[in-house]
Amino acid sequence: GQNIDQPTEMTATEGAIVQINCTYQTSGFNGLFWYQQHAGEAPTFLSYNVLDGLEEKGRFSSFLSRSKGYSYLLLKELQMKDSASYLCAVEAYGQNFVFGPGTRLSVLP
Amino acid sequence: SAVISQKPSRDICQRGTSLTIQCQVDSQVTMMFWYRQQPGQSLTLIATANQGSEATYESGFVIDKFPISRPNLTFSTLTVSNMSPEDSSIYLCSVRTGDGYTFGSGTRLTVV
């Protein structure tokens, strides 16, 4: 099976930078995804990491270390609309796509 | 990426009744996934639906409670049977696409 852990809640200020961590334990790792979910809406895809390193996409970046079972999502220049839940999810060979518990981010003015 | 049309978007149902949720994808996909998201929680996989074979259910979910149909490569239904208030959740379908997993807009179910 897979075990995924994220902080439950985080708070940050508009314009700041926030890092949301995700640790996982799995065999047959195939990739790690980050999703954003606003209240009452479906999750939307943010990033996908297969290899170690940093993937940058505008204000959002995602980092992966497969040897450490660790990823983080970095959000820069925070905006009020970034207040949402952020879910990391792991895909593994022969296993289903599993979501972490999610991190609820509140951006304050 | 694929576009998924899911309906109904929400429903309020009496306990003991059943509700069927539909997902239509704009392209052919091998596998479709059904998730449940209880209030304030993350997504939990219910089952994987393959065309032409019986769905594969995760631990804690059974076919009698959540029957699934997959008549072709673009469509699937999930039925929530003999509902109780504990079934009140958001139900989402999903497909694997080139850049990740795409989700339907979800069905918010309230059982009274």
Q: What is the pLDDT of residues A44-88, one digit of tens each?
A: 999 999 999 999 989 999 999 999 999 999 999 999 999 999 999
Query: C-alpha angle with apex B42: B36 to B46, nearest 5 degrees?
Result: 30
**Residue B55 gets which letter from DSSP?**
P
By CA distance, what is B41's nearest residue in A? A101
Distance between CA atoms of B66 and B92, rounded to whole angstroms?
13
Q: Measuring CA to CA, how many Å separate B37 from each of A39, B41, B96?
A: 12, 6, 18
| Residue in B44, B100, B104 nearest the CB of A33 | B100
Share of chain B above pLDDT 70, in %: 99
What does the pLDDT read at residue A98?
A: 87
**Residues 41 to 100 of B: which have CB under 8 A from any A CB?**
41-45, 48, 58, 92, 96, 99-100
Q: Tell me whether residues A42 and B92 touch, CB distance under 8 A.
A: yes
Q: Tell me whether residues B102 and A99 touch, CB distance under 8 A.
A: no
pLDDT at A1 over 70: no
Q: Tell me whether residues B43 and A43 touch, CB distance under 8 A.
A: yes
